[in-house]
Amino acid sequence: MERDTGLSKDTLRVWERRYAFPNPARDQHGERVYPIEQVEKLRLIKRLMDCGHRPGKIIGQSIEILRALGGGLGKESTGPVDLEIFLNLISSHQLPELRSLLSQTMARSGLQNFILKTIVPLNVAVGDAWMSGRIAVFEEHLYSELVQNLLRNAIAAIQPQGRTPRVLLTSLPQEQHSIGLLMAEAILAVEGASCIPLGPQTPMADIVTAARVHHADIVALSFSSSYPETKVAESLKQLRLALPVSKHLWAGGNGSARLRKPIEGVQTVVSFEKMLDMVKLWREASA
């Protein structure tokens, strides 16, 4: 369910208690069993949350109303032709062709522009196609794994410069999304920063220890929209207190963008372009 909807099990259980939805049955072992219509509704809710809707406002609505709230998300893509070509390759299961086209696009545009101009809008288009039923869950998973492998290979090919800032990249437990972390690492690597990638779901105490032993200048966390807003704020406050004042704390992703109030000592990364500006400002201040 976590993989099929993008929502963590803790979020689903909180919603069960708070909103009486989802309402899974139980099998003979007492394990939750989710009807397919509830899975579809949860996928719609997750996609609308990515667009800024709050779960408490939409979780009680019918599937028809949720689709209507999505507006054009259920319609055919009207974006650039390139995105439509990618979507057609995904939905027709042409993985070698998709991998080749992505690789060629990256070679032509360079890694940073590839992420900013192709992967960022393509991720949105794939999410829209997933929500509308144009592509299946397994097709979205295959696309995500292909992009992550491509980014890992590209990062590995970059000769480390040993330059500052030293950026530790990770997410907290129950935040399993990792593609945003890889995109950030790739952009920072091209910029000459030294990255310390811990991958997703690192306990807070380990983040503090890793930042110390690896002499990180910046600790950057990623929060998806499914991560509870109150938990984002609480976790960032705790981590800010645990880290030395000299270490900067950045928070990115749709989850951190939903914070209602700024947190002292925490900088919000609203976009990858903004992250590049933040690196520049950090270097100027350090110099």
Residue-wise pLDDT for 190-228, tens only, equals 999 999 999 999 999 999 999 999 999 999 999 887 777
Q: Based on the domain organization, do 196 and 239 belong to the same domain?
A: yes
Residue-wise pLDDT for 156-169, tens only, equals 988 666 788 999 99
pTM for this prediction:
0.76
Domain with 199 in it: 163-286
Last residue of a domain, one of 140, 156, 172: 156
Order the strands of the 193-199 sheet from edge to edge: 193-199, 163-170, 218-222, 248-252, 266-269
Last residue of a domain, one of 72, 98, 133: 72
Largest CA distance in the chain: 64
Q: What is the CATH number of the domain that holds 7?
A: 1.10.1660.10
Q: Based on the domain organization, do 195 and 107 belong to the same domain?
A: no
Asked if pLDDT for residue 104 goes beyond 70, the answer is yes
Closest of 192, 187, 193, 185 to residue 216, by C-alpha: 193
Q: Based on the domain organization, do 107 and 168 belong to the same domain?
A: no
CA 118 – CA 1 distance, rounded (Å): 28
Q: Which helix (H) or strand (E) holds 123?
A: helix 120-132
Residue 182 has which token pair? 């890889």
Q: Find residue 248's DSSP bridge partners.
A: 218
CA 4 – CA 6 distance, rounded (Å): 6
Number of folded domains in the chain? 3
Q: Based on the domain organization, do 116 and 40 belong to the same domain?
A: no
Last residue of a domain, one of 135, 156, 177: 156
Asked if pLDDT for residue 79 goes beyond 50, the answer is no
Q: What is the CATH number of the domain that holds 90?
A: 1.10.1240.10
